[in-house]
């Protein structure tokens, strides 16, 4: 029988132990744990930053935004730092917790001040844009040395667009789309459209094409551009209307849904299919009772369908609301002049 040296046996044993330990670590990586295991891990150890981060990523992906917000905060408190607070702000925004979104975004910007790359500041600035505060967004963005390639330019373009500073917005957007995504391309198209270059907006949409996995921002801009440019091209109109219909069904942003509905109704009216627009427009008018724009398009469609009584009633309601708004504005102006005489 062959004798095996003791040091060989020891080496084999140590190798097996090392492999076993490595295998255990491999299986216990957060990415390989189930969601329930991750929740148990963070409950057992509140300093498990990696588990908190993986759990937050999954929750955000599943649109469990409030839960994701709490998990990102847990990761931040466990040492993950500014990026976690910025992502918590993003999730708070999506959960409708606007005060928390603002607070966490400010925390992220403050914590990110000394970083080499301003990822957290860029995410937080994007939150401020969505909160309707583009000036704070611009002042929060990292400088050129700390900018996130293309993404910082994208957020800058969105903020400048909100301020209607179109030439600057276009310059930032053109840099952002050097690495194109549907979101960045949507901002470029919107800048062109809102600045009056509707032909340029359509050319970008036509060149970039459509993607099934694109976001609603892109589908809205593509739908607006295609239906406005379609004329007698039925295929292009159908493609544009399908994009608008998708936005109406899928978006979680009321303004996008309303804008897509108005454009879809106008497209159906222009192409001689007003009867097909009535149910959709009635649904949107009920969902947005204060929108004069959707009521006006509905009235135009009803008139084309021969429902003159309903059309006149809708137009009168729009006219009455405008008259009331003008009267209120004049009253406020008179009050202001009374308290602030020249």
CB 207 within 8 A of CB 192: no
Distance CA 125, CA 108 (A): 10
More confident: 330 or 137: 137
Element (H, E) at 272: none
Give the model's pLDDT for residue 111. 95
Give the model's pLDDT for residue 20. 42
Q: How confident is the model at residue 325 (pLDDT cuts 50, 70, 90)?
A: low
CATH code reported for the domain at 45-139: 1.25.40.10
72-127 pLDDT tens trace: 999 999 988 899 999 999 999 999 999 999 999 999 999 999 899 999 999 999 99
Give the model's pLDDT for residue 16. 43
- CB hemisphere CA count around 228 (13 angstroms): 20
Give the torsion through C-alpha atoms of 163, 167, 171, 172, to 10 deg: 0
Q: How confident is the model at residue 24 (pLDDT cuts 50, 70, 90)?
A: very low
Stretch among 114-118, 153-157, 217-221, 332-336 having the lowest mean pLDDT? 332-336
Question: Average pLDDT of 227-238?
Answer: 92
Question: Average pLDDT of 119-144?
Answer: 96
More confident: 7 or 78: 78
- The DSSP output letter for 78 is I
Domain extent listing, the chain: 45-139, 259-334
Stretch among 15-24, 42-51, 266-275 having the lowest mean pLDDT? 15-24
Give the model's pLDDT for residue 329. 65
259-334 has the same fold as 45-139? yes
Give the model's pLDDT for residue 290. 83
Give the model's pLDDT for residue 324. 59
User: Mean pLDDT of all residues in the chain?
Assistant: 86
Tell whether the model's pLDDT for residue 207 goes beyond 70: yes
More confident: 165 or 213: 165
The neighbour count for residue 15, using CB atoms within 10 Å, is 10
Distance CA 223, CA 176 (A): 22
Instruction: Please give the CATH architecture assigned to the domain spanning 259-334.
Output: Alpha Horseshoe (1.25)
Tell whether the model's pLDDT for residue 190 goes beyond 80: yes
Q: How confident is the model at residue 19 (pLDDT cuts 50, 70, 90)?
A: very low
246-294 pLDDT tens trace: 999 999 889 999 999 999 999 999 999 989 999 999 999 899 988 888 8
Give the model's pLDDT for residue 5. 52
Question: Average pLDDT of 327-334?
Answer: 63
CB 260 within 8 A of CB 248: yes
Distance of CA 92 to the CA centre of its chain: 13
> Which range in 155-164, 290-299, 326-335 is most confidently predicted, on average pLDDT?
155-164
Give the model's pLDDT for residue 39. 86
Tell whether the model's pLDDT for residue 156 goes beyond 90: yes
More confident: 325 or 208: 208
CB 315 within 8 A of CB 299: yes
Q: How confident is the model at residue 331 (pLDDT cuts 50, 70, 90)?
A: low
φ and ψ at residue 193, rounded to 5 degrees? -65, -50
């Amino acid at each position: 029988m062959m004798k095996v040296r003791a040091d060989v046996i020891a080496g084999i044993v140590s190798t097996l132990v090392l492999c076993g330990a490595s295998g255990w670590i491999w299986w216990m990586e957060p990415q390989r744990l189930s969601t329930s295991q991750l929740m148990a891990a963070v409950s057992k150890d509140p300093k498990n930053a990696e588990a908190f981060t993986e759990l937050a990523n999954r929750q955000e992906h599943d649109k469990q935004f409030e839960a994701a917000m709490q998990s990102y905060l847990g990761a931040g408190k466990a040492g993950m730092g500014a990026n976690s607070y910025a992502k918590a702000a993003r999730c708070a925004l999506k959960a409708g917790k606007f005060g928390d979104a603002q607070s966490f975004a400010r925390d992220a910007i403050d914590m990110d001040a000394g970083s080499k790359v301003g990822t957290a500041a860029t995410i937080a600035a994007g939150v401020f844009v969505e909160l309707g505060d583009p000036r704070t967004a611009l002042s929060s963005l990292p400088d050129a040395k700390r900018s996130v390639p293309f993404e910082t330019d994208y957020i800058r373009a969105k903020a400048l667009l909100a301020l209607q500073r179109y030439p600057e917005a276009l310059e930032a957007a053109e840099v952002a789309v050097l690495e194109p995504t549907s979101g960045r391309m949507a901002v470029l198209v919107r800048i062109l459209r809102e600045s009056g270059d509707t032909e340029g907006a359509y050319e970008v949409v036509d060149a970039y094409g459509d993607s099934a996995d694109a976001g609603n921002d892109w589908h809205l801009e593509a739908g607006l551009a295609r239906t406005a440019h379609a004329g007698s091209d039925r295929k292009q109109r159908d493609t544009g209307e399908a994009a608008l219909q998708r936005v109406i069904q899928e978006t979680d942003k009321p303004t996008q849904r309303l804008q897509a509905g108005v454009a879809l109704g106008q497209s159906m009216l222009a192409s001689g299919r007003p009867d097909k627009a009535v149910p959709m427009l009635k649904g949107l008018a009920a969902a947005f009772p204060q929108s004069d724009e959707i009521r006006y398009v509905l009235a135009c469609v009803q008139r084309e369908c021969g429902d003159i009584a309903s059309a006149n009633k809708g137009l009168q309601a729009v006219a009455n609301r405008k008259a009331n708004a003008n009267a209120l504005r004049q009253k406020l102006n008179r009050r202001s002049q009374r308290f602030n005489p020249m």
